[in-house]
A and B are shown apart, each in its own frame.
Chain A
Amino acid sequence: MPLAQLFLELGAVILALAFVGRAAGRLGITPIPLYLLAGIGLGAFMSLGDAPTEFIHIGAEIGAVLLLFTLGLEYTSQELRDNLRANRQVGLLDLGLNFTPGLLAGFALGFPPLAAVLLGGVTYLTSSGIASKVLGDLGRLGNRETPVILSVCVLEDVAMAAYLPVVAALLIGGTLIAIEINLLVALAAFALAFFLALRYGHVLSRLMNVQSNEALLLSVFGLVLVVAGVADLLKVSAAIGAFLVGIALSGEVAERARGLIEPLRDLFAAVFFVFFGLQLDLSSVPGVLLPALGLAAVTSATKFMTGWWGAARAGVQTRGRFRAGTTLIARGEFSILIAGLGLELVPTLGPLAAVYVLLTAILGPVLARFDAQLAPLFDRKLREVRA
């Protein structure tokens, strides 16, 4: 394929994303659901050649790795430890309430067990990206319910770090014994890496902290890719390797690395969402519309309950509880990532997850915005229930 055509097609795709991103900024929402739509649109109306598709495919993999890496960077190991200790109960409630509906729906739809487990992951994970954007945009960082929201996100991310390697091991399949061995290797590798990251992260941080930004960018990006590659060889899931590198880095080096990697992440993450949209088979969307709607309705309610209960436990009043509940509804990047793992198991998992994410990503932030109008409604209902 001539280079000119490759550049033209890639450039056109990325420019389309830029346009979509600006539109999202104008509307005050995150671009994630729109990137998905853009991918779906591209798949339906344009056919890219092999080379751009190949590039987009590899870019999408890098995007997933970088998403997890920056997520790991967000948290210090101290924060993770404190959170695990202090907010176990909310975390467990969250897991029980939001993983189960996906799992059950998977079985009800006749998915194989592993695909049902994946669907559980899709409904479980709140989009921390969307939640933090809502908090920031609406000036709610100082609110009393905000620590609860953030804690739930942290615990979910930790849970995902354990969940992904397990699922990755299960996906390899094979005989029962082979699955067990894969599972053990994956869990052992994950536990060891997690322990090392928590325990010796500061040593790595000191080693990585070079003065020049260029050298720092290259060493961080290189390390992330190498660790992700090793993790993939061990069948642990490349993204989790990256997540652990993010956890291990702390202090000044994490601060600088975040600034340097963020533009790269934004580029590749956008490619990731487009790729997911491109892969979707549009003809299967009408078939999943109803299940997606039902799932969105049920899991919005269960997420809402999680946030409500967590905020109530923190001594927050009705309106704050409402805000905590609604802010957590949006699912996003990680639901897509998990659904992406199971595209070959069940072809409908992809479209289902995409529609589901679109619905919740729009519903959550919109509801969160109107707490003054909507929260009293819940209060009255509550009083009636009590009376």
Chain B
Amino acid sequence: MVKLEETPLPGVGVRHDFDGRFGKRVGVITHRDGRREIFVSRRDDPDACGQSIVLSDEEAEAMADLLGGSTITRHVSRLSQDIEGLAMDWVSLPGISPYAGRLLGDTMMRTRTGASIVAIMRDGHAVPAPGPEFPLRAGDTLVVVGTPEGVVRAANLLNGGA
């Protein structure tokens, strides 16, 4: 975890900063009026700002989205690595798939690949533990769990490959 330091700036706002891993102090000043100021310290003078950028409220939000987005992705990919020998993937069912419009049981997924379909995402909802009589539709996202190889084979099968 990054150790954030909070310093009140009377009459201005609040400063949050931390000593970055690559030798620079990085911080954000939240001004009273909502503006955010991102700054990095100078390398030769860590007490001083080398560069600072003032962002409006909305720009700061967009910036946070950009920076935050990568954290979420990293978190998911780490999840599949954390449990050894177990993989999990989201496979979307394209229109060209042979199984679009057929029942889930028709894929004979467990028998053919060893992987299981544990849930199906459709229109933003999740259908957990779908039975064999569940009709698949193009555009569904299938949550597949199994060995890493099994998951890859399952994805190929659903996409119309071997």
Contact = CB atoms under 8 A, between A and B. Distances in A.
A79 B7 CA distance: 11
A142 B11 contact: no
Contacts of A82: 8
Nearest to A315: B47
A126 interface: no
Interface in A129-176: 132, 139-147, 150-151, 153-154
Given A255-B32, A255-B33, A141 B48 contact: no
Interface string B42-75: 0001111101100000000000000000000000
B48 A140 contact: yes
B49 A139 contact: yes
A141 B12 contact: yes
**Size range of the chain B interface in the assembly:** 20 to 34
Given A255-B32, A255-B33, A142 B49 contact: yes
Contacts of B87: none
Contacts of B49: 139-143
Nearest to B39: A142
A139 B52 CA distance: 7
Contacts of A51: none
Contact of B11 (A128, A139, A144): A128
B9 A146 contact: yes
Nearest to A132: B11
Find the residue from A132, A140, A141, A317 having the highest chain B CB count within 10 A: A141
Contacts of A323: 48
B27 interface: yes
Interface of chain A, main secondary structure: helix
Find the residue from A142, A144, A153, A323 having the highest chain B CB count within 10 A: A142
Interface in A95-146: 128, 132, 139-146
A153 B11 contact: yes
B17 interface: yes
B37 interface: yes
A144 B47 contact: yes
A75 B11 contact: yes
Contact of B47 (A128, A139, A255, A317): A317
B10 A141 contact: no
Given A75-B11, A132-B12, A150-B10, A320 B45 contact: yes
Contact of B37 (A142, A316, A319): A142
Contacts of B51: 139
A154 B11 contact: yes
Contacts of B46: 144, 317
Contacts of A139: 39, 49, 51-52
Interface residues of A, number: 27
Contacts of A145: 47
A153 B29 CA distance: 19
B11 A143 contact: no
Contacts of B15: 141-142, 146-147
Contacts of A142: 15, 17, 27, 29, 37, 39, 41, 49, 52
Contacts of A147: 7-9, 15
Contact of A319 (B7, B39, B47): B47
Nearest to B31: A141
A232 interface: no
A74 interface: yes
Contacts of A144: 46-48
Contact of A143 (B8, B10, B32, B47): B47
Contacts of A154: 10-11
A317 B45 contact: yes
Interface in A51-109: 74-75, 79, 82-83
What are the nearest 6 A-B pairs in CB distance? A320-B47, A142-B39, A144-B47, A74-B11, A142-B49, A79-B10
Interface of B: 7-12, 15, 17, 27, 29, 32-33, 37, 39, 41, 45-49, 51-52
Interface of A: 74-75, 79, 82-83, 128, 132, 139-147, 150-151, 153-154, 255, 316-317, 319-320, 323, 371
7 contacts: A74-B11, A79-B11, A82-B8, A141-B12, A143-B49, A144-B47, A323-B48
